Structures are given as structure tokens and as C-alpha cells.
Amino acid sequence: MKPIYLIGFMGAGKTTIGKELASCLNQDVIDTDEEIVMREKKNINDIFEEHGEEYFRNLETLILNEFDNRAGIVTTGGGIVVKPENRKKLNEKGIVFFLYASPEEIFKRIENDHSRPLLKGDKKRLIQELYEKRMPLYKETAHVVIDTTNKDKAEIIQEIIDCLG
Ligand code: S3P
């Protein structure tokens, strides 16, 4: 079976949903952010600060390449779609679910979170800007869009399972 990829904006619930989905389907799961933090032995803020965004993006690509031929679930950082080669790989190698949430909903969910280096400053404005840039990229990469608005975890997981047939 092809890998299942979960993509979407920061705060969309990719990591949480991916872990529960994996246990429902009895599959392995990896999270690209968690892999990077484990390998670098640093948190994401520190990686961005010390090495910059490009270094982080290259690590994301490296991890995608390592896992593209294994069955299982891969949950991704919100910026994985920024690099064209990642979009191509995700779309060609796996089944890609885009977990959609509106920018207002995203803001509510991550208003008090300080772990995301790209949202330092005026969070509302930064979310809106990134959201507009990335929305077409998520849509271009995904095979299935799952609207997470007003749905609990169980409903979202069931929708994904139904799509997998
Ligand atoms: C990022 C999203 C984060 C993390 C990093 C960059 C982004 O992951 O990879 O802070 O560019 O959208 P989450 O989507 O899990 O928050």
C-alpha cells in the first residue's frame, strides 16, 4: 500500500489525527517535524534561528525521500508544500489528505502557541499571508480535501477511512 500523507496549515491537526488514524489502521506513523527535532536534537525555533528556513526545508525533503516507499502514515509540517519537488513527491508517491481549516479557526487554535518560528509577530496577519500563499499549493498537492471545521477527531478519522475504502 502507498503511504498516506496528511498535509495542511499549522494547527490543522495533522499530527494528532495521524497518530489516531495510525492506531485505527494498525499502521506505522512518522511526523516530519518530530523526526527533524529528534535528529537535530533541537526544537524547531532553534533550528530556524541557528540554520535558517532553507536548512529546515532540506531536512523535510530528506525525510520525505526516506519514507516514500514505505507503507504507513506520514504527517507533515505546514510548509512541506513550499518546495515543488516535495509537492510532486507527495502527490505521486502517496495518497494525500489535505486537512482544511479556515484562517480564523487556525488563529483560534494556535493563538497562544509559541513553537512556530514563522508566526512570530502579528500572528493574525502572518497566518493570513501564509494561508493565501499556501492554499493553492495544498489544493494542488492533495488527492482528498477534508474540511475539519466543527468536526471532532473521530469524524475526521472516519472520513479519511471512508475515502481509503
Ligand atoms: C511550519 C509548520 C510547522 C513546522 C515549522 C514550519 C510551516 O509544522 O514544520 O514551524 O512552515 O508551516 P506544523 O504544521 O505541524 O505546525
Q: How confident is the model at residue 52 (pLDDT cuts 50, 70, 90)?
A: very high
With a cut of 90, say whether residue 158 has pLDDT above it: yes
CA 79 / ligand 1 centre spacing (Å): 6
Report which ligand 1 atom has the smallest distance to the Cα of 36: 9
Q: What angle do CA 124, 43, 54 make, to 5 degrees?
A: 75
95-100: strand order across its sheet: 29-31, 73-75, 4-7, 95-100, 144-147
Region 43-55 average pLDDT = 98
Answer whether 13 contacts ligand 1 (Cβ < 6 A): no
Q: Which of 1, 2, 67 is nearest to 34 (CA)?
A: 67
With a cut of 90, say whether residue 165 has pLDDT above it: no
Report which ligand 1 atom has the smallest distance to the Cα of 31: 15
Q: How confident is the model at residue 69 (pLDDT cuts 50, 70, 90)?
A: confident
Region 123-149 average pLDDT = 98
CA contacts within 13 A on the Cβ side of 37: 13
Report which ligand 1 atom has the smallest distance to the Cα of 45: 10
Pick the residue whose CA is nearest to atom 16 on ligand 1: 10
pLDDT of residue 41: 98
Region 85-105 average pLDDT = 97
Q: How confident is the model at residue 78 (pLDDT cuts 50, 70, 90)?
A: very high
Q: How confident is the model at residue 132 (pLDDT cuts 50, 70, 90)?
A: very high
Distance CA 94, CA 99 (A): 15
